Every structure is written in C-alpha cells, then in structure tokens.
Amino acid sequence: MKTRVYVTLKGGVLDPQGKAIHHALGSLGFTGVNDVRAGKLIELDHEDGVSDADLEAMCKKLLANTVIENFRIERGN
C-alpha cells in the first residue's frame, strides 16, 4: 500500500525558498502568481496493517517538524 505524506510550512512561517521560486517565476515572465510556498512529498510503501495512528506517529516523530511544519496524510488504497 502506498501512502503520501505532504509536509508544508505553517502559515505564519516565512518561506525563503518559496519567495525565491516566486521571484524566479516573475523573472521568467509569468504574472498573476500571488505567493509560492514550497513543501515536501514523502511516499511510504507499507503493509496494509500499518494503522492510521502509526502513520500519524511517524509524521509527528520524524517526517514533519511540528514546530514549523504541518502534515497531511493521504492513505493509499
């Protein structure tokens, strides 16, 4: 089973990488982009028996730093 974990910076946290990407898009001539936030996608290939609680614990203990990041788990079928 494949589960996707999306890790994104929390709302109030400044994202210098997102800013740089935003700036680069502007230099390429793209207009109308109001903001860019960069995050991570982590794919887990796991046994069906791994529980939602386990996945959540993995995120809290390692995959995301909850001081600065949020995570969203998209469990595969």
CB of 34 to other proteins, least distance (A): 20
CB of 2 to other proteins, least distance (A): 19
In the numeric block, which tokens belong to residue 65? 């730093």
What DSSP state is assigned to residue 13?
A: S
Beta strands (DSSP E) in the chain are 2-9, 40-45, 69-74
C-beta of residue 46 within 8 angstroms of C-beta of residue 35: no
Is residue 17 within the footprint of other proteins (CB under 8 A)? yes
Binding to other proteins by CB under 8 A, coded x per residue (else -) over 21-60, reads ----------------------------------------
